[in-house]
Amino acid sequence: MLLLENIHPDATALLSKAGYQVDTADRALGEDELVERLATVDVVGLRSNTHVTERAFEAAPHLLAVGAFCIGTNQVDLAAASRRGVAVFNAPFSNTRSVVELVISEIIALQRGLTDKSRMMHEGKWDKSAKGSHEVRGRRLGIVGYGNIGSQLSVLAEALGMSVWFYDTEDKLALGNARRCSSLEELLEAVDIVTLHVDGRPSNKGLFGEAELARMRQGSIFLNLSRGFVVDHAALRAHIESGHIAGAAVDVFPKEPKRKGEPFVSELQGLPNVILTPHVGGSTEEAQQDIGRFVAGKLHDYLSSGSTSMSVNLPNLVLPPNAGEFRVTHVHANVPGVLAAVNSLFATHGMNIESQYLGTRGDIGYVITDTPTDCPAEVLDALAEMPATIRLRAL
Ligand code: NAI
């Protein structure tokens, strides 16, 4: 296994303990270097800066799985991975708690004017006043997007005594005492604090502009820790300058510097009571550690049992814990007759099937077959030669 980009040491520890030979590197690899290294590697782990392209997959005959030790998987050519039966895993939830904690801290900081107070103290000004400062207890919080982050925030905000309203385009279960709104407009008119946690689907571009800001209550607070392109920053600036919006916290921007040291420019710079952070909502050591544990666990499960639970490209097969002793895993083209052909091969060689799991996803099918005895070489050869076969493993 080759783990790149300084992946958390817990991942290496977990995989080494499970018996894998793990090489690590603290940086990303360019395509040429990656092509060279992948020639002998069964599993590669990376974060967002190593791109696994069609050419890289082509040069990796042994590659079984890719672990994206991060949230996004844009850096991996998923179609190329699927065509070769390579499973790709990521860590979609591991940093969600970190985002929620930052949101809570920012709501409190904004409700107490902490940024202004701290700045004045650094300038030598002592201004002890309660004016404009509020407890968060009893405040009305509006969560737009009630997914992994929005729903966790709902629970923690209620624990602080806030009243929670939420709006989601899907019909989501309301946790605790949270109130579901049937439209964004209804939410905006009801709450003192609006926080966005929608996903990055293209239709969310410009979701929050002049009309939505204008609907917010006088003196309310606005937060966006979801995606930069969701909000019109020029309109937000105008509403902050007019005093209609009392404060804001923004962690994501339409244009973000690619690397440390590149200049950052935003319409929101220079405004008092606006907290700007460099897309660090999910960036904590705990999240990194959990990403390491989570993805390493998925890779180990896939290699040892064939489980593709939560794979981002292969059909998701979640296996029961008492899986059989002999197992054949078969990734194939999703065309009619493959399962019948597989089972007929087992039958003609007198092999009983103890249990079988099948899943399909787009063009790809995946079948796992458990047998009471080891699969003879001629059956494996015949399976490998089937035209639909993409990847075969006997475990
Ligand atoms: P999720 O996919 O679990 O939840 C998103 C929710 O938003 C879903 O329930 C969906 O139905 C809803 N939704 C989508 N469009 C909507 C709309 N127009 N109106 C109302 N609801 C809508 O996503 P998760 O994990 O909760 O993440 C939320 C956002 O946070 C994502 O955009 C993600 O990229 C971002 N994020 C930011 C981080 C940071 O460092 N600032 C770290 C982690 C995630």
Question: Looking at ligand 1, which atom is closest to the CA of residue 146?
Answer: 9
**Is the CB–ligand 1 distance for residue 146 below 6 Å?**
yes
Residue 174 makes CB contacts below 8 A (sequence gap 6+) with 166, 180
Superfamily of domain 1-94+285-314: NAD(P)-binding Rossmann-like Domain (3.40.50.720)
pLDDT band at 323 (very low <50, low <70, confident <90, very high): low
* From 256, 286, 325, 378, the catalytic residue: 256
Q: Which CATH architecture has domain 316-395?
A: 2-Layer Sandwich (3.30)
Kindly give the distance from the C-alpha atom of residue 252 to the centroid of ligand 1, in angstroms, as a whole number: 12
Q: Do domains 1-94+285-314 and 96-276 have the same CATH topology?
A: yes
Query: What kind of fold does domain 96-276 have according to CATH?
Result: Rossmann fold (3.40.50)
For residue 123, the 8-state DSSP code is T
> Is residue 328 over pLDDT 90?
yes
pLDDT tens-place string over residues 138-168: 999 999 999 999 999 999 999 999 999 999 9
Kindly list the domain boundaries of the chain, sorted by start residue.
1-94+285-314, 96-276, 316-395
Phi, psi of 331 (to 5 degrees): -90, 130
Token duo for residue 93 = 């939830």
pTM, whole model, 2 decimals? 0.89
Burial 340-377 (b: 16+ CB within 10 A, else e): eebeebbeeeebeeeebbebeeeebbbbbbbbeeebee
pLDDT at 325 over 80: no
Instruction: Identify the pLDDT of residue 322.
Output: 61
- For 342-367, write each residue's pLDDT tens digit: 999 999 999 999 999 999 999 999 99
Q: How far is ligand 1, taken at its centre, from the CA of residue 265, in Å? A: 24
C-alpha distances in Å from residue 62, one per residue of 49, 59, 69, 214, 226? 22, 9, 20, 57, 37
Residue 144: CB within 6 Å of ligand 1?
yes
Give the pLDDT confidence of 246-277 residue by residue, as tens digits: 999 999 999 999 878 899 999 999 998 999 99
Q: Quick one: 339 exposed, middle or buried, by C-beta within 10 A (0-12, 13-18, 19+)?
A: middle
Mean pLDDT of 334-344: 96
